[in-house]
Amino acid sequence: MSTADIFKKRLRQAVKESTLTVAEYAQDNHRFKSRTGQLERAVNTRMLNDLSGEVFIDNGIAAYAGFVHNGSAPHRIVPNGKKALRWVKNGAFQFARSVNHPGYKGDPFLYTAADDKKREVLATFDRYAELAKEDIATELVKR
């Protein structure tokens, strides 16, 4: 194995571990009230190529995730194909032709996780760089 391949292998491992570190922290540390755990399960990771990865929210699992993460401006909610909206309050149905939603500030928990785990991610890359250095030294001795 070439020294470049050894370094790439260790760098890829560092990227994978770092994305998982940030994703797990984001799942456990947020301000929104979790009712079903669906939004936490929607936090995922993927490798974009050999040397970069990302932490993202899978909208297929939680379509509302963008509104929770980024917030929403005040807006009016109207029924979709019906005459009235309906919800339960104090055990009884409530009806309205429309409601004014006050908006939501948002909880950018992915960005917060990336900021909060920055030191740990840097330490992960330092650790894998040291491992790569040891692997390369071992490989050079073999030759």
pLDDT at 72: 96
3-class DSSP state of 99: strand
Tell me 104's DSSP state: B
pLDDT at 59: 95
Integer CA distances (angstroms), 109 to 51, 56, 75, 124, in order: 24, 11, 23, 21
Which tens digit of pLDDT belongs to each residue from 55-74? Answer: 999 999 999 999 999 999 99
The C-alpha torsion from 110 through 111 and 116 to 120, rounded to 10°, is: 70
pLDDT at 76: 97
Q: Which parts of the chain sit beneath pLDDT 70?
A: none
What burial class does residue 100 get, using C-beta atoms within 10 Å of its C-beta: 0-12 exposed, 13-18 middle, 19+ buried? exposed
3-class DSSP state of 109: helix
Which parts of 29-117 fold into alpha helices (H)? 38-42, 65-70, 109-116
What burial class does residue 125 get, using C-beta atoms within 10 Å of its C-beta: 0-12 exposed, 13-18 middle, 19+ buried? middle
pLDDT at 114: 97
CB atoms within 10 A of CB 74: 9
